[in-house]
Amino acid sequence: MTTMTRWNPFKASTPLDPLIRFDDMFRGLTSRPMWRDLDPTPDMRIDVMEDDKAFHIKADVPGVAKDDIEVSVDGNQVTISAEIKHESNKKEGGESIYTERYCGKVYRSFTLPGDFDSAKADAHYDNGVLALSLPKKANGSSRKIRVS
């Protein structure tokens, strides 16, 4: 079985040290535990876009039921949390050999650069992607100041 090693172009390499190359030659031969390379919780990837009227957020939350997603707003801070439930469809006499799928809670919180109207917010969940549309507040107190 071969293992893949990531190459880091920014890693300082010293070609004059022979022990570094010797160590690299034997690095892939050892058996590493599988849980060493796995993160304990998956990342919730988001895209945040802005136009004149609203902020648009897309968050990847695959494998989650729509009822298990919670979006909360506090000022201009948005928090998305979801609970990933583990399926238990064990067959009689079968056992799990290897499991990488995460079950538990995932959480992401971020601050938007402007205020938005949470009463007019809209959320849709389709094919593992949560789409939020947060309309900007009409800012009646903003004005341009002429520089003299």
Domain boundaries, given as residue ranges, for the chain:
40-85+102-135
pLDDT score recorded for residue 104: 83
Closest-CA residue to 108 (of 50, 46, 47, 64): 46
Q: Tens digits of per-residue pLDDT, 59-100?
A: 999 888 899 999 998 888 999 999 988 766 666 667 777 777
Q: By the 8 A CB rule, do 118 and 73 touch?
A: yes
Q: By the 8 A CB rule, do 99 and 107 touch?
A: no
Q: Helices in 1-148 by DSSP H: which ranges?
A: 18-27
pLDDT at residue 107 is higher than 80: yes
How far apart, in whole angstroms, are the C-alpha atoms of residue 29 and residue 20? 16
Burial level of 135, CB count in 10 A (0-12/13-18/19+)? Answer: middle
pLDDT at residue 25 is higher than 70: no
Tell me what the mean pLDDT of segment 7-23 comes to.
54
How far apart, in whole angstroms, are the C-alpha atoms of residue 69 and residue 84? 9
pLDDT score recorded for residue 92: 67
Confidence of residue 141 (pLDDT cuts 50, 70, 90): very low
How far apart, in whole angstroms, are the C-alpha atoms of residue 105 and residue 84? 6
For the chain, the maximum distance between any two Cα atoms, rounded to a whole number of angstroms, is 83
Task: State whether residue 39 is helix, strand or coil.
Answer: coil
Looking at domain 40-85+102-135, its CATH architecture is Sandwich (2.60)
Measured in degrees and rounded to the nearest 5, phi and psi for residue 21 equal -70, -35
Kindly report the average pLDDT of the chain as a whole number: 75
